[in-house]
Amino acid sequence: MSATISPARKAEAPSISANVRGYAERVRGGDMGALPAVFGLVVLCTVFAVLRPSFLTAGNFANLLTQGAAVTVIAMGLVFVLLLGEIDLSAGFASGVCASILAILLTNQGLPWYVAVGAAILAGVVIGATLGSIVTKLGIPSFVVTLAAFLAFQGLVLLLIKGGTIIAIRDETILAVANKNLPPALGWGLLVAGVVAYAGLQLLRARKRAVRGLASDPISLIAVRVGALALLGGLAVYFLNVERSRNAAVVSLAGVPIVVPVIVVLLLIWTFVLRRTAFGRHLYAVGGNAEAARRAGINVDRMKISAFVICSSMAAVGGIIAASRASSVDPNTGGSNVLLYAVGAAVIGGTSLFGGKGRVLDAILGGTVVAVIENGMGLMGYSSGVKFMVTGSVLLLAAGVDALSRKRAAATGLR
Amino acid sequence: MTPVLELRGIDKSFGPVQVLHDVAFSVYPGEVTALVGDNGAGKSTLVKCVGGIHPIDSGEYLFDGKPVQIHSPRDAADLGIEIVYQDLALCDNLDIVQNMFLGREHRRGIVLDEDTMEEMAARTLESLSVRTVKSIRQHVASLSGGQRQTVAIAKAVLWNSKVVILDEPTAALGVAQTAQVLELVRRLADQGLAVVLISHNMNDVFAVSDRIAALYLGRMAAQVKTAEVTHAQVVELITSGRSGDLGLTNGVTV
């Protein structure tokens, strides 16, 4: 107890170079965060862009985003379950069940879209509550419970949509989600509003902390962050606002796909919940050390059930997006590789399979990686077989990075 | 001086096994009371009864001289009794501030009030003269054993607690870190808190404690002032329940 933290040292604003150094130290220490996903994304995009110039067209970019949207949303929900060190293998078919309910209510019953969406999400809540209760109250490992649910939901989808029929969706609002675009001006407007709000919040926070004498981020760092957001967002909006239609006079295809702001809103909501509320803090605590959380008076069972509820509800949203994109629901909605891609997306993005570490943003990064592989290899003309094998290898690689970085972190005492 | 916490005639059984027999135990403000005893003497059970984790079968539980009912860890925490367990119960993936406020976060509306928590945590660590941590925003995973113990203790004193119970705080620590933690224990008592120190290490006990309570096979062998006994007497109390005039005769306290 001889070294000191003097009050002066506390108030000192860490410089930007100190921040960079801290980050480099964390990465070296094994806390890679989203780095592998970002790196992978850059490499994949470069390779595909060089080999297939059509990869870099506006049309393909928009296509890629809507292609990956459903998996990404399901992966965002899975992050919550993975944070607790649990798994939900049924999320794919849960999204199928919810999409079936949506389709039946919309098309067969003729109910308005908001009732159908509400019912689909409610179904997700019920599914999550049931799974979570079985896992916590009966103590069956989530792997087994959700594996059983995976099979059962597959059957439930078949029963709901009566054998192998396909239910078409004709509701304009639902179809718009994955098939329509924002007016180009609105895309720019939302981006500007978002960047201004982000900059304002960051500055306000830094000022409040500086006033109280707490260490705050330097203005230069905030400027870099805001600049990066503005640059990336600006590029994306510009690219998506380019006319994609072959015959613009007949149908105009320009603007940010509606599903993009939907995902951004979900990202903001869940990031706020995880980082700024006691509930989110408790989720991390349960994932990090369930016993410590229990002793701190946190109801561990309730946290687990809520995580499953969030996961299945997000699966329901993913199901709605999938239904919108396909304009129909069939027995395969949410089936085949959807779940595996979603788990892969969360893990590739940097969510730990061991619990306690992960962000909703990770799921989006990972989801983009998965979508880029799927899309790029499709353009290269590879068969599904090759795509599956490559995606599988990338997932294994990501899980390997996670496991190795844990080992490394344990060795350097960072975890 | 009246004890802040006093137990009288505590019995506790787990099924057919009676673990605590007619135990009396007093803890005084501003003093370090060492709770000693061999493995299986009932130290942990006694502490868990105090902390509300195990309900007592019979006996009186007095806090500030008034009888109270403790049914859950919450009840004990509400009275100002905090237990720092041997396995620390910290979350590696959270930082120091987050750990100190875990389960009792300050919020404004539904948003966490990080700034207030950070200030309070910094003030508490400063009041304990804790100067070994680089930043209170670093993850607990990156701390040494002694630093983790310090955080666990600081977490316990953050809540205007009156009684802090430390379960073998130095068991896993090296020499220098042990000295740091013992220094901290002494400082807590000097600030007016009642500190209970469970320890196997006689050097630690004699270094910081004002009183010693020795358990022997589930009975309180003796509660004595540290200044009035010798090392050897305490060891005798621990191993045979008696030492000369002190301790149990035929299982009854004299």
SS (H, E, C) chain A: CCCCCCHHHHHCCCCHHHHHHHHHHHHHCCCCCCHHHHHHHHHHHHHHHHHCHHHHCHHHHHHHHHHHHHHHHHHHHHHHHHHCCCCCCCHHHHHHHHHHHHHHHHHHCCCCHHHHHHHHHHHHHHHHHHHHHHHHHHCCCHHHHHHHHHHHHHHHHHHHCCCCCCEECCCHHHHHHHHCECCHHHHHHHHHHHHHHHHHHHHHHHHHHHHCCCCCCCHHHHHHHHHHHHHHHHHHHHHHCCCCCCCCCCCCCCCCECHHHHHHHHHHHHHHHHHHCHHHHHHHHHHHCHHHHHHCCCCHHHHHHHHHHHHHHHHHHHHHHHHHHHCEECCCCCCCCHHHHHHHHHHHHCCCCCCCCCCHHHHHHHHHHHHHHHHHHHHCCCCHHHHHHHHHHHHHHHHHHHHHHHHHHHHHCCC
Instruction: Write down the pLDDT at residue B139.
Output: 86
- pLDDT confidence bin for A297, thresholds 50/70/90: confident
State the pLDDT at residue A151.
Answer: 92
- Among chain A residues, CA nearest to B53: A295
Give A1→chain B minimum CA distance, Å: 5
Verify whether the Cβ–Cβ distance A215 to B105 is below 8 Å.
no
Residue A388 pLDDT grade (very low, low, confident, very high; cuts 50, 70, 90): confident
**Cβ–Cβ gap A414/B103 under 8 Å:** no
Strands B163-167 and B219-225: unpaired
Q: How much is the average pLDDT of B136-144?
A: 84
- pLDDT for the residue numbered A377: 87
Q: Which of A2-16, A303-317, A373-387, B138-152 has the lowest mean pLDDT?
A: A2-16
Q: What is the pLDDT of residues B212-233, one digit of tens each?
A: 999 998 888 889 899 999 988 8
Check if B182 contacts A (Cβ < 8 Å).
no
Structure tokens that stand for A70 in this block: 């459903």
**pLDDT greater than 50 at residue A12:** no
What per-residue confidence (pLDDT) applies to A77? 95
The CATH number of the domain covering residues in A32-180+257-412: 1.10.3470
pLDDT at residue B198, as a whole number? 92
- For residue A5, the model assigns a pLDDT of 39
Interface test with B, best of A205, A281, A298 (most B CBs within 10 A): A281
- The string of pLDDT tens digits covering residues B36-58 is 998 888 888 899 899 888 888 99
- Containing B198, the helix (H) or strand (E) segment is strand B194-198
What fold characterizes domain B5-80+161-253? Rossmann fold (3.40.50)
What is residue B210's DSSP assignment?
S
Least Cα distance to B59 among B219, B193, B216, B194 occurs for B219
Q: What pLDDT band is residue A1 in, cutting at 50, 70 and 90?
A: very low
As a whole number of Å, the end-to-end CA separation of chain B is 22
Q: Which residue has the tokens 């009840």?
A: B75
Q: Does B110 touch chain A (CB under 8 A)?
A: yes
pLDDT digits (tens, 9 = 90+) for B183-221: 889 988 998 899 999 988 888 899 999 999 999 988 888
Q: Give the residue, A252 or A93, on which the prediction is more confident.
A: A93
Domain spans of chain B? Answer: 5-80+161-253, 91-160
Q: Which residues of B touch A4 (CB under 8 A)?
A: 131
| Contact across the interface for B115 and A212, Cβ inside 8 Å | yes
Quick one: average pLDDT of B9-34?
91
How confident is the model at residue B254, as a pLDDT?
Answer: 46
A292: nearest CB among B73, B91, B135: B91
Percent of chain A residues topping a pLDDT of 70: 92
Q: What is the pLDDT, as a whole number, of residue A190?
A: 94
